[in-house]
Structure 1
């Protein structure tokens, strides 16, 4: 990999990981459109670690409260006024909502990796799920925060997250869509989606690291270090400005972007 490829892929991953426009689609399309070679497992690990560090850093105070309350809940002590501590409940919802994507990912990993990387499929999913996001934002949005979710809500969002294994769907996009359809506010939907990304990204990075350990060749440590830093910085900025942006303007710009990109892919590769 040359340094231009390292910079472009790192920034693309960091920005698109949390925007509802599909990071997997963009990382598949960049080598296709530029004729660069696939970035390989080493760089995938670097980009995932950068994104994970960014979201953990951004939500560090929330995670500290959630972790402490969750630990107390395991001992039956996470109670306030006779009810479950909201931070403990939110931590449980994040963990339980992660189960569907893990099950589907392990069951259909080979099918997804080999048979679902077509630019045509990406174009279709960008358009289809983009329109669904637009409908949810325009017609179904409510005012509930992430602390007002029920177990049923969390599991439905978790089931929706499993669809993100299809390139072009967007993990953040489909989870935000599901949350909006369930009556959450834009900010609440985004915050729960970002919290939900933490165990998923950690698991993905862990699996990639296992594969990395088994690789016989050396590691390009400078490229990996730059990938972690650039993807992390761009992801952190993306989270910060995205939450502020959607409170004022909503999801419409991302819906338009998805439709335009999807139509362009269908025209180019159709």
Structure 2
């Protein structure tokens, strides 16, 4: 890979249609697997010599992942929303649907709160050292170790009907860790769920539902920025292609992961994340890729 093909640190590269479709595939396949879509959308294009596509581009194509999770869990979402509305009307505050909705709302607050703090006190966070490939690699390794411990010690007994309000709060705190690139929103919440004694598939399913408000807000905020400032170098067609690709592969990833975790452990992802981080550090050390 030619060094000159990579833009200087802090800059972003223009994405063509083929690259956008591939990045949509990467986004879709990694958003809901516990391996960090942010990390892969930074590392993969840099390793291929395309440069960093930029936070705005990656955030907008997340809209495809949002569409996929809404599509997949539409029945669950409508049940929770209508059930919670009925519970409010009848003042049945012990209703399962009401508590589930409240748990999702409370679980979303931490990532919103800390996200606003970052925006206020670290305005150039997107170009900070925390978003460098070294930081991403370290985060991947640390999270692989935490998921490995959770897989070992978690009791994995409680199913979806046995979720409590505190599960939403605790998993929401874990979700806030995903503000650090490379941590993985689904990875941190799945890890927390296993530590709390949830079944693997239950932890993943609740993680998906909990993530809907967070990734929706992130995608819509960036989309608003594009509409106000113009598409610029990103190009409208690549954005559309990337978003559609993201939606298709996100849906497939959700369906596959839920089936996989019904019978299998998370060790596949643990070893993958560990190897991913080690390979990135080695590539940086050998100067095969820049630490941007």
Q: What is the aligned partner in structure 2 of residue 243 from structure 1?
A: 258
Tell which deviates more after alignment, 29-38 or 166-175: 29-38
Deviation string, structure 1 residues 158-203 (Cα, Å, up to 9, x no partner): 1111111111111000001001101110011000100011000111
Tell me, in whole angstroms, the C-alpha distance in 2 between the residues paired with 1:217 and 1:192. Answer: 34
Worse-matched range after superposition: 28-37 or 227-236: 28-37
TM-score scaled by length of structure 1 = 0.92
Q: Tell me how far 1:217 sits from its aligned partner.
A: 5.0
Shift of 1:35: 2.4
Is the Cα–Cα contact under 8 Å of residues 14 and 47 in structure 1 kept in the other structure?
A: no
Q: Secondary structure at the match of 1:98?
A: helix
Kept in 1, the 8 Å contact 2:103–2:166? The answer is: no
Asked if 2 retains the 8 angstrom alpha-carbon contact of 1:78 and 1:85, the reply is no
The offset of 1:41, in angstroms, is 6.2
Question: Could you tell me the TM-score, scaled by structure 2's length?
Answer: 0.85
Q: Secondary structure at the match of 1:84?
A: coil
- Can you give the 5+ residue segments of structure 1 that lack an aligned partner in the other structure? none
Structure 1 position 233 matched with structure 2 position 248: yes
Q: 221-230 vs 232-241, which deviates more?
A: 221-230
Q: CA deviation at 1:33?
A: 1.1
Q: What secondary structure does 1:20 align onto? A: coil
Find the counterpart in structure 2 of residue 158 from structure 1: 172
Following TM superposition, by how much is the alpha carbon of 1:111 offset from its aligned partner in structure 2, in angstroms? Answer: 5.7
Task: Give the drift of 1:269.
Answer: 1.5
- Secondary structure of 1:144's partner? coil
Deviations 1:15-59 (A, max 9, x none): 100000000001111232122144356643541110000000100
CA distance, structure 1, for counterparts of residue 138 and residue 79 of structure 2:
40
* Residues 49-198 of structure 1: pairs in structure 2 closer than 5 A: 49-75=63-89, 77=90, 79=92, 84-109=94-119, 110=123, 112-115=125-128, 116-198=130-212
Q: Secondary structure at the match of 1:167?
A: coil
How far does residue 265 in structure 1 lie from its aligned partner after superposition? 1.1
Deviation at 1:250, TM superposition (A): 1.2
The 2-side partners of 1:162 and 1:217 are apart by 29
State how far apart, in whole Å, the 1-side matches of 2:57 and 2:136 are.
22
* Structure 1 pair 32–237 and aligned structure 2 pair: CA distance change class (3 A): same
Could you tell me whether the CA contact under 8 Å between 1:69 and 1:78 is conserved in 2?
no
Corresponding pairs, count: 266
Q: Over aligned residues, Cα RMSD in angstroms?
A: 1.8
Tell whether the 8 Å contact from 1:22 to 1:168 is kept in structure 2 after alignment. Answer: yes
Q: Deviations over 1:47-94 (max 9, x none)?
A: 11100000001001100100101222333x264xxx722122111111
Q: Counterparts of 1:12-23 in structure 2 under 5 Å?
A: 12-23=26-37
Preserved CA contact (<8 Å) 1:52 1:201: yes
Q: Deviations over 1:72-129 (max 9, x none)?
A: 2333x264xxx72212211111111000000101111336422211111111111111
Higher mean displacement: 205-214 or 235-244: 205-214
Match of 2:276 among 233, 237, 261: 261
Cα distance in 2 between the residues matched to 1:217 and 1:265: 31
